[in-house]
Amino acid sequence: MASAAQADVTIGISLSTTGPAAALGIPEKNMIELLLPKEIGGEKLKVIMLDDAGDATQATTNARRFVTDDKADLIMGSSTTPPSNAIGAVALETATPHFALGPVAIPPERMKYTFVMPQDVKLMADVIFKHMKSKGITTVGVIGFSDSWGDLWLGQFKRLAEPMGLKLVADERYARADTSVTGQTLKLVAARPDAVLVAASGTGAALPQVALRERGYTGPIYQTHGAVTKDFIRIAGKAAEGAILASGPAIVPDMVKDPGMKREAETYVKMYEGKYGKDSVTQFGAHAYDAFKILERIIPVALKSGAKPGTKEFRAALLKALESEKEIVASQGVFNFTPTDHAGLDERARVLLSVKNGDWAPAP
């Protein structure tokens, strides 16, 4: 029995199921529990899930436990950028493949073991800034989280938007747990930008959306893919109308053209809403769905190497499979990881949505 247990493929998962990022972590946890297979490639699967409450220190502790105590072959998590960055550091230190379910802000040279399930910020920022340009927008105000998620979007504004001729006229920040952005909003309105970009995620993205409309701002408000949940529409209410959001395609299967992606998106939506009800899907749950679609492809390949789960050789085989398997079709896109590209997604992985009559619609 001891040798059989040692052969289990072990996955350690750290999610933000409590705290400010719970709106992201809970759908991920729900999807994993719905989807969780008992085995992949004929090998039993052992999954350990822990809560990190969105805290980078706790995420680090969880990741170290997975590697040291549980002998994990692969780590997943976390739900937002700061704890995902922290887990990535442990992954690099211990040579353990890592699926980040939140976007990361990790230098390329430290990304050897981290693979990112959400769409890269550069990919999603590109479609937002091109839409702004097409609408004749020239000045933009940004209000975002005062952490690495906000930093990522400001960085892409400088890299992508400014060369397009867009000018940043205001940069305001707020903490994920804040309950008011009155001061920041007043400064934004005073700057009179043609458009505002909210670089936030989860239900916290609704706070500036509501505050800007309450203070009479009538220009277009853009939101990132971190805000694409029905909870955002519910909390923002009428203020959400007309918001423009970059999104992964999983929550709008009818807008997906690629037949394989469409099939996976429909499967994801049917599975999740079948358990949690209509309009309960988020793209955060889709990231967890996609992670297991990738595992279904790479674990059998790694096992063919002859390496045994629980060993550094098996972790190396997983890494090799991740970087060599091509056209892995999932709900949010088609993944093609390489040794120099651990985002692995292209333009098939993005759509531009707006809020119309309390629901999603194609952006005008």
Taking the C-alpha atoms of residue 34 and residue 224, their distance in angstroms, rounded to an integer, is: 27
CATH number, domain of 74, equals 3.40.50.2300
Last residue of a domain, one of 198, 215, 247: 247
Nearest 5°: the CA angle 244, 248, 254 is 90
Cβ-Cβ contacts under 8 Å for 272 (sequence gap 6 or more):
27, 30, 31, 34, 280, 281, 285
In a domain, 273, yes or no: yes
pLDDT at 1 over 90: no
Label residue 20 by pLDDT band (50, 70, 90).
confident
242 and 275 part of one domain = no
CB 156 within 8 A of CB 109: no
Taking the C-alpha atoms of residue 35 and residue 50, their distance in angstroms, rounded to an integer, is: 17
CB 88 within 8 A of CB 111: yes
pLDDT tens, position by position, 218-241: 999 999 999 998 889 999 999 999
328 and 221 part of one domain = no
Taking the C-alpha atoms of residue 258 and residue 235, their distance in angstroms, rounded to an integer, is: 32
In a domain, 354, yes or no: no
In a domain, 310, yes or no: yes
Share of the chain above pLDDT 90, in %: 91
pLDDT tens, position by position, 166-208: 999 999 999 998 999 999 999 999 999 999 999 999 889 999 9
Start-to-end Cα distance in the chain: 60
CB 89 within 8 A of CB 108: no
Q: How many other C-beta atoms lie within 10 A of the C-beta of residue 255?
A: 16
Query: Where is pLDDT greater, at 73 or 37?
Result: 73
pLDDT at 3 over 60: no
Q: pTM to 2 decimals?
A: 0.88
Lowest mean pLDDT among 2-6, 72-76, 142-146, 309-313: 2-6
Mean pLDDT, residues 82-108: 96
Closest by alpha carbon to 76, among 30, 29, 119?
Answer: 29
What pLDDT was estimated at residue 7?
A: 66
Taking the C-alpha atoms of residue 198 and residue 186, their distance in angstroms, rounded to an integer, is: 15
Number of domains comprising the chain: 2
Label residue 148 by pLDDT band (50, 70, 90).
confident
The mean pLDDT of the chain is: 95
Range of the domain at 57: 2-119+265-346
108 and 141 part of one domain = no
In a domain, 357, yes or no: no
Taking the C-alpha atoms of residue 56 and residue 309, their distance in angstroms, rounded to an integer, is: 28
Closest by alpha carbon to 113, among 141, 89, 130, 144?
Answer: 89
In a domain, 135, yes or no: yes
In a domain, 59, yes or no: yes
What pLDDT was estimated at residue 2?
A: 32
DSSP symbols for 51-105: E-TT-HHHHHHHHHHHHHTS--SEEEE-SSHHHHHHHHHHHHHHT--EEESS---
Can you say how many angstroms the Cα of residue 109 is from the centroid of all Cα atoms in its chain?
A: 21
DSSP symbols for 287-302: HHHHHHHHHHHHHHHH
DSSP symbols for 149-213: HHHHHHHHIIIIIGGGT-EEEEEEEE-TT-S--HHHHHHHHHH--SEEEEE--GGGGHHHHHHHH
pLDDT at 334 over 80: yes
In a domain, 360, yes or no: no
